Amino acid sequence: MRAAYLKSHGGPEVIEVGELPVPTISSTQVLVRIKFAALNHLDIWIRKGLPFQLLYPHILGSDASGVVEQVGSEVKTIHPGDEVIVHPGISCMHCQSCLSGWESLCAGYKILGEQVSGTDAQFIAVPAVNIFPKPKGMTFEQAAAVGLVFTTAWQMLVRRAQVQAGDSVLIHAAGSGVSTAAIQIARLFGAEVIATAGSVKNLELATALGARYTINYKEKDFVAEVRSVVGKAGVDMIVDHVGAALWDKNMKVLRRGGKIVTCGATSGFDARLDLRTVFFKQVQILGSTMGSKADFWRILREFELGFLRPVVDKVFALDDIRLAHQYIEDRKQSGKVLLKVESY
């Protein structure tokens, strides 16, 4: 099969595209012929060298849509020819965390493309529990843009921060995949969204997705702008995956008793934290990683009802994956960046 993979860490130039063996499946697994895969910032971090022990060649990619090619002998509810979405989270599905709906707390939790090989290939073998039906009316291209970012944003807002109608929610990096999902989910629950971005294109996208206020952080001080919208008291909630570059300012605009939920740190992990602010303002700092497969059923239902929609920015050929990585690193994206695999 054709695949994009790593044999070492570094810049986009270390990504190789070539032939690898088609994976074999166990009795509880499903083999999917991939049509589209999606890129995430996670791919960039893995390529650069997150501290995981990788088995080379390591196939990148967490998201995919495609058609079931083969099913294991114990798989009874999925059939060859089914049009499906691959969920990125792998866990034991037996421990207390998994059975209580907190799969990402499983001691053996893995994400496709991170600790195990992923979706940037013609085929992938995954547990049957990771296979979901593609919603009616959704294209394969759109379906590939859903898994990681909507699962992550749902857990951040709904499970961790418990967003409610009337909450004021500040969402950074409005053009990113997680943020385009978070804006929609916050609006779904009746929250008022303030979105920041560094380009007019991404601010316009945020408005189209439901943000009531937008701030160009390159042109204006977002602290002053947020206070002009909600007052000196601050916002109820902040969705952040930027990290160190914005941490001090986030603390300034978060109200007493407010919540900041974080799932990443694209600008750096070493954020300065003044504990006096934490205990005096009684703020809640919430970490979040991915989300449950049970919630993913609900997410897909919202897509079928038309309350959520995928945001696809650009599609690259698999052979052009290096260009796709550079496109994301150059912060050009407005939504999801995809790889077209089906033509191979």
Does some domain include residue 303?
A: no
Size (the chain), residues: 344
Higher pLDDT, 51 or 190: 190
Question: Do both 170 and 114 map to the same domain?
Answer: no
Q: Is the pLDDT of residue 270 over 90?
A: no
Name which of 185, 186, 184 is nearest 208 in CA terms. Answer: 184
Reported as a pLDDT band with limits 50, 70 and 90, residue 343 is low
- Give mean pLDDT, residues 175-183: 95
Question: How far is residue 140's CA from residue 138's CA, in Å, rounded to a whole number?
Answer: 7
Whether 301 is in a domain gets the answer: no
Query: What is the bridge-based pairing of β-strands 2-6 and 89-90?
Result: unpaired
SS3 of 221-241: the string is CHHHHHHHHHCCCCEEEEEEC
- The answer to whether the beta carbons of residues 22 and 123 sit under 8 Å apart is yes
Per-residue pLDDT tens over the stretch 193-219: 999 998 999 999 999 999 999 999 889
Average pLDDT on 51-61 reads 89
Rg (alpha carbons) of the chain, rounded to whole number: 20
Same-domain pairing of 56 and 86: yes
Q: Which of the residue ranges 15-24, 127-136, 192-201, 269-278 would you say has the lowest mean pLDDT? A: 269-278
Residue 319, pLDDT above cutoff 70 = yes
292 found inside a domain: no
Q: Is residue 295 part of a domain?
A: no
Rounded average pLDDT over 28-49: 96
Mean pLDDT confidence for 212-238: 93
The C-alpha atoms of residue 218 and residue 221 are separated, in whole angstroms, by: 8
pLDDT at 19 over 90: yes
Mean pLDDT across the chain, nearest whole number?
94
What are 156's two structure tokens?
């951040």
Q: Is the pLDDT of residue 244 over 80?
A: no
- Convert the pLDDT of each residue in 281-302 to its tens digit: 999 999 999 999 999 999 999 9
**pLDDT value at 42 more than 70:** yes
Instruction: Decide if pLDDT at 65 tops 90.
Output: yes
Q: Cα dist. 27→75, 76, 114, 122 in Å?
A: 7, 11, 24, 21
Domain that holds residue 318: 2-146+310-340
* 86 plus 183 within the same structural domain: no
Residue 189 sits in the same domain as residue 74: no
Domain co-membership, 20 together with 113: yes
Residues 125 and 177 in one domain: no
Lowest-pLDDT choice from 69-78, 98-107, 158-167, 273-282 = 273-282
Residue 305 lies in a domain: no
Note whether 154 and 283 are same-domain residues. Answer: yes
pLDDT of residue 344: 59
Instruction: Compute the distance between CA of residue 140 and CA of residue 131 in angstroms, rounded to an integer.
Output: 14
Q: Identify whether residues 185 and 218 lie together within a single domain.
A: yes
Listed ranges 20-29, 220-229, 261-270; the one with the highest mean pLDDT = 20-29
Is residue 65 located within the same domain as residue 130? yes
Q: How far apart are CA 213 and CA 230, in angstroms?
A: 11
Position 185 scores a pLDDT of 98
Asked if residue 315 and residue 280 are part of one domain, the reply reads: no
Residues 129 and 160 in one domain: no
215 close to 196: Cβ distance less than 8 angstroms: yes
Domains of the chain: total = 2
Residue 299 domain-assigned (yes or no): no
Residues 102 and 117 in one domain: yes
Q: How far, in Å, CA of 256 to CA of 254, rounded?
A: 7
Instruction: Enter the tokens of residue 198.
Output: 């560094």
Looking up residue 92, the CATH number of its domain turns out to be 3.90.180.10
CATH number at residue 259: 3.40.50.720
